[in-house]
Amino acid sequence: MEQVSTTHRIASGSAVVRIPDTASLPVIETEAALRALLASLSGVDAVGAAARAAKLATRSLKQSTKRDALDLAISMVDLTTLEGADTPDRVRSLCAKAWRPDPADPSTPSAAAVCVYPDLVATAREALAGSAVAVASVATAFPSGRASLAVKLADVAEAVAAGADEVDMVIDRGAFLSGRLGQVFDEIVAVREACGTAHLKVILETGELVTLDAVRRASWLAMAARADFIKTSTGKVAVSATPPVALVMLEAARDFAEATGRVVGVKLAGGIRSAKEALRYLVVVNETAGALWLSPRYFRFGASSLLNDLLAQRTKQRRGVYVRPELFSGD
């Protein structure tokens, strides 16, 4: 009797997203126009979104898919240190790690970026000279976002002047939750201008927005204000990136690209520590927004300890044995 199953590989599962060639961004000249745009968005059924995310989590990545996905995930890491106790040496050490995450295996890709406070941007810039690793800086009174616009813009200017390629700003959640949407929008626009050629990542702090409806609206608000990336979290509140939040933000990025022709990236941050979680998120990317987002250009993980687990799993895939965590440096 039959014992061996046959294998048929058919669809990849990847979402096929059709993006218009010419950009047509929504014109937002008044708060009413912004409200109308956000009101036109579909609601999110939280039960259905959680069920979809859970179903995607059952995908099983094996063999070459897993190897490719681990490398891809490594290349998407924004290696982050955002502590009061950060020092130049700590940042230099992190930069070395981002550049060559596993010196024993030169085929290991570099991380996407190093993410630090503005006062350490220059240190990182210098340490990463000659590498393709970008320097990202949080700004705008990170993590609370509670400062005047002038202070926020000065914070951004300092980071950009010191050589930041990317700026991670926080939105004013208080303003968003109290309905001052125009204020949130205007701040993003102003910061976007202050960034110059630097890319802007807008942190929504989804753990404080709480509902998926709010996440979808905040995502669209930030994209309409010309964010280059929308980002989940600061990592400084209890709830950070979750699979349903990632799903809703990727849906927003997909729908925005289809509607406007502008592709906005998505960055998940906070609490992602294991390779297994990271690969599950890549599946969500693949099946929600599709192949275009499977690149560090449009998708990032803000993390620190995640990198070592990705390296451990990568090494396990190559050597076939589980390795000690101490095989990789502790940065």
Binding residues (CB under 8 A) for other proteins: these are 1-17, 19, 21, 23, 25, 42-45, 47-49, 51-52, 58-66, 68-69, 72, 197, 228, 248, 251, 257, 261-263, 282-283, 286-287, 290-295, 297-298
Q: Where are the beta strands (DSSP E) in the chain?
A: 77-80, 113-116, 134-139, 166-170, 199-203, 229-231, 265-269, 299-303
Residues involved in catalysis: 168, 231, 267
For other proteins, the closer of residues 142 and 281 by Cβ is 281
For other proteins, the closer of residues 91 and 194 by Cβ is 194
Among 248, 182, 257, 173, CA closest to 221: 182
Whether the Cβ atoms of residue 265 and residue 299 lie closer than 8 Å to each other: yes
For other proteins, the closer of residues 1 and 150 by Cβ is 1
Give the separation between CA 140 and CA 142, rounded to whole angstroms: 6
The neighbouring-strand residues paired with 34 are: none
The neighbouring-strand residues paired with 267 are: 231, 300
Q: How far is the CB of 75 from other proteins (least distance, A)?
A: 9
For other proteins, the closer of residues 11 and 27 by Cβ is 11
Cβ neighbours, 10 Å, residue 27: 9
Question: What sign does the CA torsion over 138, 113, 162, 103 have?
Answer: positive
Whether the Cβ atoms of residue 231 and residue 302 lie closer than 8 Å to each other: yes
